[in-house]
């Protein structure tokens, strides 16, 4: 697992921050903010570009986040633009920045003591600032989005995959000077910049280095000089020629063709996935209608009284772990954002992973070898874990301090009430079926009425397979029964979620605990099962043998919530455009040889403006926020908040593409 090193930062006699890794200042000793405005905002002619912009989002990329000065300055500048031009089509700014050595959260305020106007933005960023692995982390500042790519820029730039080709409007070519940081200023950087930049997209940089100028020219940029800031004689700026050739698609079989812009979107489903997708779409200015087959929302798997939120860490799947950690960090940010707006019971007091047998003990220790920071994952002795849990335990385990529990049913139902106030339309008791696509819209009938929308998202869990367009996708249902038991003198002492081969939650406001959950594959029955209820209680007692406090649980009320989840064999969700399986079978029947012979490979056929979001399994609270943001970004044709390799793992056509790439034939 690739971990991050933090910046070693000091201050010189002018109180300007200095990087000890690069022996260079972060910004001008004369006036860092004035330099940022002159070099990058004026150098890229941002205000003029924004005025003439003809789309709803503008994309800036930066090499070297540093102290965040350029970001805070341009975010403030964009807010001024929006205030001065309230009717302009441009509504959102995406700021994509790369940082190999992030500074510590507490250093932001000390670095920016001379910039009190940024204090609120710094507070917002540091409230969720948890750099702990390479890759992209998205942060929200109203209509300004910050995508921070942590790690080596040389490794991260290619992970802005094919979907980013020719999407960046301008570059802040920053970072430490070429003589201090020569490993960044090279041909690889310039080639990637050219690939990612739109025709007529621009760059600006503080340096006038002839080596940098020649490097940018060699890949195709037109490069010019202008007066430098302060005592600097010159600086460079430039543009990508409008007649530049379009970039080739490196992975065409996974490429999601950009659809025509749509503003009217229907979502099928009424659970946590639909909630966060609706939130992200509304934030991006879309008109959203939710169709729920049931008479109330959160009727299925999202209707539990309590659910755990923590990342699914593993000792054998590095890519999936990165996805779950990204999701967890983003979920915490979204919950922090929603807490003042939506009423839902929560207790983010931590999650304990109990070593209930030798195999689990070895697995937990192996996970610890990945070197996670202690906020995310910490091994604990039996005594330490007992103290954290609040009840005596015989064995040790691990502790996830930032995890916890919340009420899914309250979050979903009250969250949707909040979104209705933001413009969401909700239609209950409405089964969407027999979708047909005509005249650039999806149509169906219900009770003799016709309904149509420009785009449709299928987020209806295990009932996804009722649509014929889902052919080829191997999704299966999993019945899960969560027992609810009354608290008692012992259970009331439980401070946090206790996980074993099941889980037990702390006491809720209703004075109950949740014990979960059964796992019955290919079972759609939603009636109460006494056997599963008793098994949930017995599993706790069997996994925590010699813990006397597990013996006094009263399950006589036979109270439980039954839901059916959707899952995939590879234990990771699925999101994106719905593939046209019959057409892809024809397109890719010889994919193995096409790739081997380096022959042209077609873009995958998909159903136009039809999307799916499925297979969240038992980690829906953790993954739904990021998956919703990802899909909303795809639909809006805006920057995506995940690396290319993780996107491939989430693709709806991944199972058969993997087989075809190995030379196997589809049935």
SS3 sequence, 201-236?
EEEEECCCCHHHHHHHHHHCCEEEEEECCCCCCEEE
Average pLDDT, the chain: 92
CATH 3.40.50.150 residue ranges in the chain? 9-102+109-229
Q: What would the pLDDT profile of 17-29 be if each residue is shown by its tens digit?
A: 776 666 566 665 5
Q: What are phi and psi for residue 665, nearest 5 degrees?
A: -105, 150
Q: At what angle do helices 69-84 and 119-126 cross, to 10 degrees?
A: 120
Q: What would the pLDDT profile of 124-170 be if each residue is shown by its tens digit?
A: 999 999 899 999 999 999 999 999 999 999 999 999 999 999 999 99
pLDDT band at 640 (very low <50, low <70, confident <90, very high): very high
How far apart CA 208 and CA 196 sit, in angstroms, is: 22
Cβ neighbours around 534 below 10 Å, total: 13
CATH 3.30.9.10 residue ranges in the chain? 346-406+476-565
Q: Is the peptide bond before 497 cis (omega within 30 degrees of 0)?
A: no
**Edge-to-edge order in the sheet of strand 24-25:** 9-11, 17-19, 24-25
What is the pLDDT at residue 545?
Answer: 83
Residue in the block written with tokens 């739109």: 198
Q: Which long-range contacts link 370-374 to residues 24+ away (Cβ below 8 Å)? A: 370/1, 370/3, 370/321, 371/1, 371/3, 372/1, 372/132, 372/313, 373/132, 374/401
Q: What would the pLDDT profile of 48-101 be if each residue is shown by its tens digit?
A: 999 999 999 999 999 989 899 999 999 999 999 999 999 999 999 999 999 998
What is the pLDDT at residue 220?
Answer: 95
What is the pLDDT at residue 25?
Answer: 64
Beta bridge partner(s), residue 347: 405
How far apart CA 574 and CA 129 sit, in angstroms, is: 27
Q: What would the pLDDT profile of 260-309 be if each residue is shown by its tens digit?
A: 789 999 999 999 999 999 999 999 999 999 999 999 998 877 888 999 99
What is the pLDDT at residue 244?
Answer: 84
Assign 503 to helix, strand or coil.
strand
Q: Which two tokens stand for residue 22?
A: 């690069």
Using CA atoms in the order 463, 468, 473, 478, what is the torsion angle rounded to 10 degrees? 20
SS3 sequence, 33-88?
HHHHHHHHHHCCCHHHHHHHCCCCEEEEEEECCCCCHHHHHHHHHHHHHHHHCCCC
How far apart CA 480 and CA 514 sit, in angstroms, is: 13
What is the pLDDT at residue 517?
Answer: 85
What helix, strand, coil percent values describe the chain, rounded to 5? 35, 25, 40
Q: Which two tokens stand for residue 433?
A: 């079926």
Using CA atoms in the order 254, 260, 261, 266, what is the torsion angle rounded to 10 degrees? -80
pLDDT band at 118 (very low <50, low <70, confident <90, very high): very high
**Can you say whether the dihedral through the CA atoms of 241, 242, 243, 246 is positive or negative?**
positive
User: Could you confirm whether domain 346-406+476-565 is CATH 3.30.9.10?
Assistant: yes
Give the DSSP per-residue string, 412-454.
HHHHHHHHHHTT-EEE-S----S-EEETTEEEEEETTEEEEES
Q: What would the pLDDT profile of 179-202 be if each residue is shown by its tens digit?
A: 666 677 899 999 999 999 999 999
Q: At what angle do helices 620-635 and 318-338 cross, to 10 degrees?
A: 90
Beta bridge partner(s), residue 222: 239
Q: What would the pLDDT profile of 469-515 be if each residue is shown by its tens digit?
A: 999 999 999 999 999 999 999 999 999 999 999 999 999 999 999 99
Q: Which two tokens stand for residue 417?
A: 């009430």
Q: At what angle do helices 620-635 and 408-421 cross, to 10 degrees?
A: 30
How far apart CA 514 and CA 389 sit, in angstroms, is: 16
- Fold classification of 9-102+109-229 is Rossmann fold (3.40.50)
CB 58, CB 93: distance < 8 Å: yes
- Fold classification of 264-300+410-475+570-579+608-640 is FAD/NAD(P)-binding domain (3.50.50)
What is the pLDDT at residue 27?
Answer: 62
pLDDT band at 174 (very low <50, low <70, confident <90, very high): confident
What is the pLDDT at residue 223?
Answer: 96
Task: Output the furthest CA–CA distance in the chain (Å, rounded).
Answer: 82
Beta bridge partner(s), residue 437: 442
Cβ neighbours around 327 below 10 Å, total: 26
At a CB cut-off of 8 Å and minimum separation 6, what does 36 contact?
27, 69, 70, 73, 74
SS3 sequence, 447-461?
CCEEEEECEEEECCH
Q: What would the pLDDT profile of 574-600 be if each residue is shown by its tens digit?
A: 999 999 999 999 999 999 999 999 999
């Amino acid at each position: 697992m690739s971990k991050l090193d933090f910046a070693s930062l000091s201050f010189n006699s002018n109180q300007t921050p200095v990087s000890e890794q690069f022996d260079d200042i972060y910004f001008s000793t004369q006036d860092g903010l004035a330099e940022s405005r002159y070099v990058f905002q004026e150098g890229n002619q941002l205000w003029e570009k924004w005025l003439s912009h003809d789309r709803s989002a503008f994309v800036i990329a930066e090499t070297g986040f540093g102290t965040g000065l350029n970001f805070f300055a341009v975010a403030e500048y964009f807010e001024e633009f929006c205030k001065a031009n309230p009717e302009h089509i441009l509504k959102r700014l995406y700021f994509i920045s790369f940082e190999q050595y992030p500074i510590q959260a507490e250093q932001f305020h000390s670095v920016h003591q001379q910039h009190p106007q940024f204090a609120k933005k710094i507070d917002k960023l540091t409230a969720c600032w948890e750099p702990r692995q390479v890759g992209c982390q998205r942060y929200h500042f109203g209509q300004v989005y910050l995508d921070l790519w942590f790690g080596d820029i040389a490794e991260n730039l290619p992970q802005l995959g094919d979907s980013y080709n020719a999407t960046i409007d301008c570059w802040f070519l920053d970072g430490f000077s070429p003589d201090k940081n020569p490993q960044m200023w090279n041909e690889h950087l310039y080639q990637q910049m050219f690939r990612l930049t739109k025709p007529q997209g621009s760059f600006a940089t503080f340096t006038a280095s002839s080596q940098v100028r020649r490097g940018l020219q060699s890949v195709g940029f037109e490069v010019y000089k202008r007066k430098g800031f302060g005592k600097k004689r010159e600086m460079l700026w430039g543009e990508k020629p409008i007649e530049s050739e379009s970039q080739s698609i490196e992975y065409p079989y996974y490429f999601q063709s950009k659809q025509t812009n749509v503003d009217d979107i229907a979502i099928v489903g009424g659970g946590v996935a639909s909630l966060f997708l609706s939130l992200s779409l509304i934030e991006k200015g879309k008109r959203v209608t939710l169709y729920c087959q049931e008479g109330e929302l959160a009727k299925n798997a999202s209707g539990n009284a309590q659910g755990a939120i923590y990342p699914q860490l593993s000792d054998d799947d590095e890519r999936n772990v990165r996805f779950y950690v990204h999701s967890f960090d983003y979920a915490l940010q979204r919950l922090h954002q929603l807490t003042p707006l939506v009423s839902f019971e929560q207790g983010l007091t931590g999650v304990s992973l109990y070593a209930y047998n030798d195999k689990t003990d070895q697995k937990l220790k192996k996970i610890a070898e990945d070197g996670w920071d202690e906020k995310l994952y910490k091994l604990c002795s039996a005594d330490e874990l007992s103290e954290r849990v609040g009840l005596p335990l015989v064995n040790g385990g691990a502790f996830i301090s930032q995890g916890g529990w919340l009420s899914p049913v309250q979050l979903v139902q009250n969250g949707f009430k909040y979104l209705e106030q933001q413009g969401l339309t909700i239609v209950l008791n409405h089964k969407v079926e027999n979708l047909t696509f005509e005249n650039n819209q999806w149509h169906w009938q219900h009770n003799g009425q016709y309904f149509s929308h420009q785009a449709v998202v299928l987020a209806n869990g295990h009932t996804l397979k009722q649509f014929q367009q889902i052919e080829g996708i191997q999704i299966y249902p999993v019945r899960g029964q969560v027992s609810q038991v009354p608290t008692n003198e012992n259970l009331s002492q439980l401070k946090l979620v206790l996980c074993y081969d099941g889980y037990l939650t702390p006491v809720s406001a209703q004075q109950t605990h949740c014990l979960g959950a059964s796992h019955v594959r290919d079972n759609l029955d939603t009636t109460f099962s006494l056997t599963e209820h008793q098994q949930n209680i017995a599993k706790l007692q069997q996994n925590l043998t010699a813990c006397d406090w597990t013996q006094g649980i009263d399950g006589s009320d036979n109270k439980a919530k039954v839901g059916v989840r959707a899952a995939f064999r590879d234990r990771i969700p699925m999101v994106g455009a719905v593939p046209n399986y019959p057409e892809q079978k024809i397109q890719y029947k010889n994919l193995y040889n096409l790739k081997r012979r380096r022959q042209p490979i077609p873009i995958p056929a998909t159903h136009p403006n039809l999307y799916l979001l499925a297979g969240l399994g038992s980690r829906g609270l953790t993954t739904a926020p990021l998956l919703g943001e990802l899909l909303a970004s795809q639909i809006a044709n805006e920057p995506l908040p995940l690396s290319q390799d993780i996107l491939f793992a989430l693709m709806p056509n991944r199972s058969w593409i993997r087989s075809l790439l190995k030379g196997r034939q589809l049935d």
